[in-house]
Amino acid sequence: MVSMCISEEIDYLRAIFSFLIIHLLVYPASNGFNSYYDRDEKSIGGLENPPPVTGDLLYASLLFELAAILLALIISLPFAAGLLVYGAGSKSYSYVRIRLKKRPFISWISVSLFGGGLMYLLSYGSFDTGGFKNIFNNETMIPALIITFYMMASYPLTQVYQHEEDRRRGDKTISLVLGIRGTFLLSASFFMIALLGFITYFDHYRGAFPSFIFLLSQVPVVLYFLIWFIGVLKDESAARFRLAMGMNLVSSTATNIFCLVYLLFIKR
* Domain boundaries of the chain, sorted by first residue: 2-266
Q: Where are the alpha helices (DSSP H) in 102-240?
A: 104-112, 119-127, 138-154, 163-169, 174-205, 208-217, 219-234
Q: What is the pLDDT of residues 249-266, one digit of tens each?
A: 999 999 999 998 988 887
Q: Where are the alpha helices (DSSP H) in 39-103?
A: 55-75, 77-94
Angle at alpha carbon of residue 127, lines to 126 and 130, rounded to 5°: 90
- Cα gap 107→111, rounded to integer Å: 6
Residues linked to residue 128 through DSSP beta bridges, in sequence order: 10
Q: What is the pLDDT of residues 177-229, one digit of tens each?
A: 999 999 999 999 999 999 999 999 999 999 899 999 999 999 999 999 999 99
* pLDDT bracket for residue 52 (50, 70, 90): low
Give the pTM: 0.92
Residue 44 phi, psi (nearest 5): -155, 145
Residue 81 has pLDDT above 50, yes or no: yes
Smallest CA-to-CA distance from 17 within 127, 135, 128, 133 is with 127
Fold held by 2-266: Farnesyl Diphosphate Synthase (1.10.600)
The answer to whether residues 37 and 150 touch, using CB atoms and an 8 Å cutoff, is no
Q: What is the pLDDT of residues 228-239, one digit of tens each?
A: 999 999 998 888
Cβ-in-10-Å burial (0-12, 13-18, 19+) of 188 comes to middle
